[in-house]
Amino acid sequence: MKQTATFIPTLRETPADADVKSHQLLLRGGFIRQNTSGIYSFLPLGKRVLQKVETIIREEMEAAGSVEVFLPALQQAELWQETGRWYSYGDELMRLTDRNDRAFALGATHEEVITSLLRDEIKSYKKLPLNLFQIQSKFRDEKRPRFGLLRGREFLMKDAYSFHATPESLDETYNVMMQAYTNIFTRLGLNFRAVIADSGAIGGKDNHEFMVLSEIGEDTIAYSDSSGYAANIEMAAVNVDYPKSDEAPKEMEKVATPDQKTIADVAAFLNTTPEKCIKTLVFKTDDDLVVVLARGDHDINDVKVKHATGAKIVELAAPEEVQELLNCEIGSLGPIGLPPAVRVYADNAVKAIVNGVVGANENGQHLANVTPGKDFSVDTYADLRFIQEGDPSPDGEGRIQFAKGIEVGHIFKLGTTYSVPMKATFLNDQGRAMPYIMGCYGIGVSRVMAAVAEQFQDDAGFTWPDVIAPYEIHIVPVNMKDEPQRELGEDLYKLLKSYRYEVLLDDRAERAGVKFADADLIGMPVRITVGKKASEGILEVKYRRTGETFEWKREELLDHLQQFFKK
Amino acid sequence: MKQTATFIPTLRETPADADVKSHQLLLRGGFIRQNTSGIYSFLPLGKRVLQKVETIIREEMEAAGSVEVFLPALQQAELWQETGRWYSYGDELMRLTDRNDRAFALGATHEEVITSLLRDEIKSYKKLPLNLFQIQSKFRDEKRPRFGLLRGREFLMKDAYSFHATPESLDETYNVMMQAYTNIFTRLGLNFRAVIADSGAIGGKDNHEFMVLSEIGEDTIAYSDSSGYAANIEMAAVNVDYPKSDEAPKEMEKVATPDQKTIADVAAFLNTTPEKCIKTLVFKTDDDLVVVLARGDHDINDVKVKHATGAKIVELAAPEEVQELLNCEIGSLGPIGLPPAVRVYADNAVKAIVNGVVGANENGQHLANVTPGKDFSVDTYADLRFIQEGDPSPDGEGRIQFAKGIEVGHIFKLGTTYSVPMKATFLNDQGRAMPYIMGCYGIGVSRVMAAVAEQFQDDAGFTWPDVIAPYEIHIVPVNMKDEPQRELGEDLYKLLKSYRYEVLLDDRAERAGVKFADADLIGMPVRITVGKKASEGILEVKYRRTGETFEWKREELLDHLQQFFKK
């Protein structure tokens, strides 16, 4: 491609409204432009990157036995009403009516559409399993679109859905998809982890997010420093054997703790440690209030509280609700003297405390020398806290460390969550109608592009991996008015294209400085500068990622390039 | 692809609600399914065809210097308000609001979006011309979606937009696009014509529709039997030299024509011919009423009336309006005794009539022996009628014939229609701000697929051209339980795939009759039947389009296939 025939509007300045590196550089390099909040146009370079990400995903999905389809974005409301998501999805689902006032959703995801498609066609277990994918624009009206392509309102997604007669068949496809995703993100050169994720109301332990490790990630990953274990921090089980203190339990006593608001304050004031304090929180679980206890140096994980209580909705009780229940402020809560109907949950670590400190359910007062079992009882001990850095890894190998991650993929065992309400059934080998067992597998294609952009850059611009760089080679004649330079540039352009390289030729009448700055900014893997030595047939070659430069004769060029690109 | 791993839900019966051949067969062959009126899912075979059409279009667009982008479907209302199309586009434009009540259009076309994108970036004539295309879902809320993919509400489209500093540059790109479209439709094997089309309010003679000739076409094409001339019938100029009769004009006389309603009735009753009758129609042009005359055997073309009168909206006046103007029914109208303010337009053919017949503006009465110029005057003579079969071709070569056509592409010189209201300007070589001169170039990708499906079929099913058949070769082992058949089938499958053929293997445990019927129905170019002679290494090969069958030894196969596919 000749640069004068395409559209690469680079910017010198970093756009003020772009707050992460990938977004800034995608704008500066002329890869994308924002149309309006969370909605972007992909310009020629951006479209090429997107297309290459698509191709890698398509190849790996097909190799894994998934078959491509193309489903509509306009989805009749009736389908979403069948599963109830028309009502539960909230403002993120974009809705409209047609000229006849029929309601539609704009495809945010396609479980309903694909399930309705198959339920009319696949009646026998003999036609299962089936794994279908598509690559298509999705629409989600995010409350706070941000970080450019990382959280947009219209974005490109690969979504796949599998249908099975047995759980074993789903397990098999799930593992195949896990491997396909690993191949995809590996080919893209991303530093990623497959992470155990929260399955929400759907259940099933096999539910993984693929996270690209990145400072700007919105999720925290807990991973082992010695094994492959990695989980979303919400999901990381704490597997610690807390040794019980050999102190003898003392007599409980009430102590005044005026103006001591935090655990750290109280511990210092009472000359003890946070590990010997017990923090008490009140949660609202569906319609109940429950008390949850944890060690003073631990944080309570509400996803675990949700699992332990079996409630659908779990949230911290409001101060007024606490006041009404216990007649005291949040800073002085404790497990002693609770109304008898209130259930008490405690994290496993609490059980090992002897002579600890708890709030007295009386403002400005605490109780010291408190020992669980002796001074108060707990209904349920469970793993209720967030894992911490340094904790042993739940798989028994190594210690936990934290990292931030960008979610780029998610694979999910849906089970019969959609097939049951949609009455999507097949006849099993006994002739009985059974709901399909389903899996779903998503990749944010445009988000992947942003994640790669975030990872592959330096101060001068992008350092794209070969496989998704918009072009492989950037030929830059320094001065297009210089006949030998122009001619050699165009000759090389034709030559390299004939060898099937993807080549961009900077045939603009710009100053050398502008051309070099643009070349570094847009970041093709190899730059060939055609300068003053053009008449001698000598070229300067720069590898963008390493910064290495070489002077090569024209005759040597093809061999070197072949080595670089391993073609 | 093994057939058990993909999803090809063929139907034995023709679906009752599908009214054209392509739609019926795309449903029966399991290529598509309807989600709701005008909205379709592309199943695996349909997606493959679509993808191949896309690839041909992409290759030709790129070869013609157009560069691919990807623009959003969600388009802020403000852009459409700038050009006024927010108000004028009507119900076909689908609209919605986001969670903050901001209004959006769903992309029906992208002139506004792309013009707004470029106006912020291209400030100098030095960066022009530019030609950008995309392939993307479009949304148009058709009043009557019909004919399956031919007129849908969500459909795949290739749209391109070019930007120029001079009209000459637009002309050049327009011609390049004309050639690219010709290449595309030729490669697809379509029987098509580039047809001069109505440019509506935009003007410019270079505005062509690409029409696939087909009985089910909704447009009529007038083409020369001897030259390349072809035009939408609305646009075909009538270029006839009407010889003036050498009859001497007689005295006009009023004659009673009781119950004679039509021109044919009146002519017969008065013992003359329709050619000597003058039909009189009243048109409403914007806010005026005008009288339009034509020969009795001709039909008035309202597009030509629109051009002749310069009105923006032209429609036949309602009977009540005519009654109020002339106090007479429509069957007895004539040009004599009109109110002085009413302008009279006549088709050129009228000028040559001597001693003709006209209505008397009095119910049941006509005037005979009427001669234009003598008995009434005409304000404007012009070409106002539809061309007819047998008329001389307007280019002077041959005679006109009619055909029906399906519009699959449209290329259009937009000029400054969008750039002026959107204030999208560049600085020309004199430093003056000028609006971009634009062209636009569309192809209905999914409609092309339907047009090919309409053309390439026989009683048994599809007869796809090699270039867009979902697979090239269909291997059909007759009996999968027969070891030699199954093994040879799978061997061939691997072999042919290793030679880069696209192969479908019917590994289903179905009866032979079902397999053959399905194979004919979905229509891959070459079918290889692996039957009883499998153990001898003998295969039966059928060419789907010609129906020819051959018995070949396994060793001969590759050579024959290479010849067939010219690989």
For A105-138, the pLDDT digits (tens) are 999 999 999 999 999 899 999 999 999 999 999 9
How many CA atoms lie within 13 Å of B426's alpha carbon, on the beta-carbon side? 22
Residue B202 pLDDT grade (very low, low, confident, very high; cuts 50, 70, 90) = very low
**DSSP code of A385?**
B
Say if the Cβ atoms of B96 and A75 lie within 8 Å. Answer: no
Convert the pLDDT of each residue in B147-169 to its tens digit: 999 999 999 999 999 999 999 99
pLDDT digits (tens, 9 = 90+) for A260-300: 888 999 999 999 999 999 999 999 998 889 999 999 999 99
Which DSSP category does B201 fall into?
T
Q: Is the ipTM of this complex over 0.85?
A: yes
Phi, psi of A274 (to 5 degrees): -55, -30
CATH assignment, A47-69+107-237+402-453: 3.30.930.10
Contact yes or no for B192/B185 (Cβ under 8 A): yes
In residues, how long is chain B?
A: 567
| Separation CA A484–CA A501 (nearest Å) | 23
Is A73–B73 a contact, with Cβ atoms under 8 angstroms apart?
Answer: yes
Distance in angstroms (rounded) separating the CA atoms of residues A180 and A376: 52
User: Do the beta carbons of residue A170 and residue A43 sit within 8 Å?
Assistant: no
pLDDT of residue A202: 46
CA A287/CA A284 separation, integer angstroms: 7
pLDDT at B200: 55
Alpha carbons A530 and A108: distance in angstroms, whole number: 49
Say which residue the tokens 């390289």 belong to: A501
Q: In this predicted model, what pLDDT tens digit does every residue of B337-347 receive, in sequence order?
A: 899 889 999 99
φ, ψ of residue B174 to 5 degrees: the values are -60, -45
- Which residues are CB-neighbours of B489 under 8 A, at least 6 positions away? B475, B476, B477, B480, B505, B507, B530, B534
B341 Cβ neighbours under 8 A, 6+ residues apart: none
d(CA A23, CA A46): 12
For A42-86, the DSSP string reads E-HHHHHHHHHHHHHHHHHHHHTT-EE-B--SEEEHHHHHHHTHH
> In B, which residues are within 8 Å of A7 by CB distance?
67, 69, 118, 121-122, 130, 132
pLDDT band, very low/low/confident/very high, at B244 (cuts 50, 70, 90): confident
What is the pLDDT averaged over residues B350-355?
95
CB contact under 8 A, A44 and B65: no
- Nearest in space to B30 (alpha carbons), one of B19, B20, B15: B15
- Residues of B within 8 A of A121 (CB-CB) are 7, 9, 33
A19: confidence class by pLDDT, cuts 50, 70, 90: confident
| Cβ–Cβ under 8 Å, residues A277 and A263 | yes
Residue A40 pLDDT more than 60? yes
Residues of A with Cβ-Cβ distance to B33 under 8 angstroms? 117, 120-121
Distance CA B37, CA A78 (A): 14
Spell out which residues of chain B touch residue A46, defining contact as CB-CB under 8 Å.
Answer: 70
The predicted-structure confidence for B48-101, as pLDDT tens digits, reads as follows 999 999 999 999 999 999 999 999 999 999 999 999 999 989 899 999 999 999
**What is d(CA B148, CA A300) in angstroms, rounded to the nearest whole number?**
57
Q: Give B203's pLDDT tier (boundaries 50, 70, 90).
A: very low
Quick check: A52 and A178 in contact, CB under 8 A? no
Residue type, A92: E
Q: Write out pLDDT tens, residues A516-556.
A: 999 999 999 999 999 999 999 999 999 999 999 999 999 99
Report how far residue B107's alpha carbon sits from residue A116's, in angstroms, rounded to the nearest whole number.
26
What H or E segment, with its residue span, contains residue A95?
A: strand A95-97
Choose among A7, A99, A113: nearest Cβ to B132: A7
The Cα of B456 is separated from the nearest Cα of chain A by a number of Å equal to: 22
Kindly list the domain boundaries of chain A, sorted by start residue: 47-69+107-237+402-453, 253-382, 471-565
Among partner residues B1, B9, B117, which is closest to A41 by beta-carbon distance?
B117
User: How much is the pLDDT for B245?
Assistant: 81
Q: Does the pLDDT value for residue A201 go beyond 60?
A: no
Residue of chain A minimizing CA distance to B121: A9
* Average pLDDT value for residue range A239-247: 88
Q: Which fold has domain B8-237+402-453?
A: BirA Bifunctional Protein; domain 2 (3.30.930)
Q: Which tokens is A543 given? A: 């590898």
How high is the mean pLDDT of chain A?
A: 94
According to CATH, the topology of domain A471-565 is Rossmann fold (3.40.50)
Which of these, B549, B522, B557, B551, lies nearest to B6 by C-alpha position?
B522
Q: How far is B70 from chain A (nearest CA, A)?
A: 5
The vertex-A74 CA angle with B411 and A86, nearest 5°, equals 160
Site of tokens 């009759």: B513
Say if residue B129 is preceded by a cis peptide, omega within 30 of 0: yes
B47 vs A5, A50, A70: nearest CB? A70
**Would the CB atoms of B98 and A153 count as touching at under 8 Å?**
yes
Which of the four pLDDT bands, split at 50, 70 and 90, describes residue B109?
very high
**pLDDT, average across residues B255-266:** 90
Alpha helices, H only, B424-553: 445-455, 483-498, 512-522
pLDDT at A204 over 60: no
Q: In whole angstroms, how far apart are CA B337 and each of B125, B300, B364, B365? A: 59, 22, 16, 14
Which runs of E-coded beta strand occur in A234-277? Answer: 253-256
β-pair partners for B130: B163
pLDDT on residue B377: 94
- For B253-382, the fitting CATH number among 3.40.50.720, 3.90.960.10, 3.40.50.10800, 3.30.70.1150 is 3.90.960.10
Predicted pLDDT at B205: 56
Paired tokens of A467: 């496989």
- Among A79-83, B196-200, B218-222, B339-343, the range scoring the smallest mean pLDDT is B196-200
- Between the alpha carbon of residue B338 and those of residues A353, B219, B251, B292, B376, the distances in Å are 109, 36, 20, 12, 9
- What letter does residue A146 receive in the DSSP assignment? B
- Residues of chain B in contact with residue A96, where contact means CB-CB under 8 angstroms, are 94-96, 106
Across the interface, of B50, B65, B70, the residue whose CB is closest to A42 is B70
pLDDT at residue A495, rounded to an integer: 97
Q: How far is A15 from chain B (nearest CA, A)?
A: 14
Is the Cβ pair B6, A67 closer than 8 Å?
yes
How many C-beta atoms surround the C-beta of residue B163 within 10 A? 27
Q: Which residue does chain B place closest to A110, by CA atoms? A: B41
What pLDDT score does A205 carry? 56
C-alpha to C-alpha distance for B32 and B22, rounded to whole angstroms? 11
| Strand arrangement, sheet containing B365-370 | B253-256, B365-370, B356-359
Burial A160-198 (b: 16+ CB within 10 A, else e): bbbbbbeeebbeebbebbbebbebbbebbebebbbbbbb
Report the 3 state secondary structure along B348-404: HHHHHCCCEEEECCCCCEEEEEECECCCECCCEEECCECCCCCCECCCCCCEEEEEE
CB contact under 8 A, B43 and A69: yes
Residue pLDDT, tens place only, A508-521: 999 999 999 999 99
- What pLDDT, in 10s, does the model give residues A377-389? 999 999 999 999 9
**Please, what is the average pLDDT of chain B?**
94
Q: How many CB pairs under 8 A join A and B?
A: 152
Q: Are strands B380-382 and B344-347 parallel, antiparallel or unpaired?
A: parallel
Nearest chain B residue (CA) to A40:
B72
For A53-70, the pLDDT digits (tens) are 999 999 999 999 999 999
**How many CB atoms are closer than 10 A to CB A133?**
25
What type of residue is A315?
E
What distance in Å separates the CA atoms of residue B43 and residue B33, rounded to the nearest whole number? 7
How would you class B228 by CB atoms within 10 Å of its CB: exposed for 0-12, middle for 13-18, buried for 19 or more? exposed
Residue B204 has pLDDT above 70, yes or no: no
* Interval B490-521: pLDDT, tens: 999 999 999 999 999 999 999 999 999 999 99
Q: Mind listing the pLDDT tens digit for each residue in A444-491?
A: 999 999 999 999 999 999 999 999 999 999 999 999 999 999 999 999
pLDDT per position as a tens digit, A412-444 = 999 999 999 999 999 999 999 999 999 999 999
> Per-residue b/e over A424-452, b at no fewer than 16 CB within 10 Å?
bbbeeeeeeeebbbbbbbbbbbbbbbbbb
- C-alpha of B234 from chain center: 13
**Residues of A with Cβ-Cβ distance to B122 under 8 angstroms:** 7, 9
Amino acid symbol at A431: G
Q: What is the pLDDT of residue A80?
A: 96
Q: Which helix (H) or strand (E) holds A303?
A: helix A302-309
Kindly state the DSSP code that residue A467 receives in the 8-state scheme.
Answer: T
Question: To the nearest whole angstrom, how far is the Cα of A259 from the nearest Cα of chain B?
Answer: 44
Residues in contact with B280: Cβ distance below 8 Å, sequence separation at least 6, in sequence order: B291, B292, B293, B333, B334, B335, B358, B359
pLDDT at position A200, please?
55
Q: Which residues of B touch A69 (CB under 8 A)?
A: 7, 41-44, 47
How far apart are the CA of A468 and the nearest CA of chain B, in angstroms?
A: 16
Selected residue with higher pLDDT from B473 and A313: B473
For residues B469 and A375, give the distance between their C-alpha atoms in angstroms, rounded to a whole number. Answer: 79
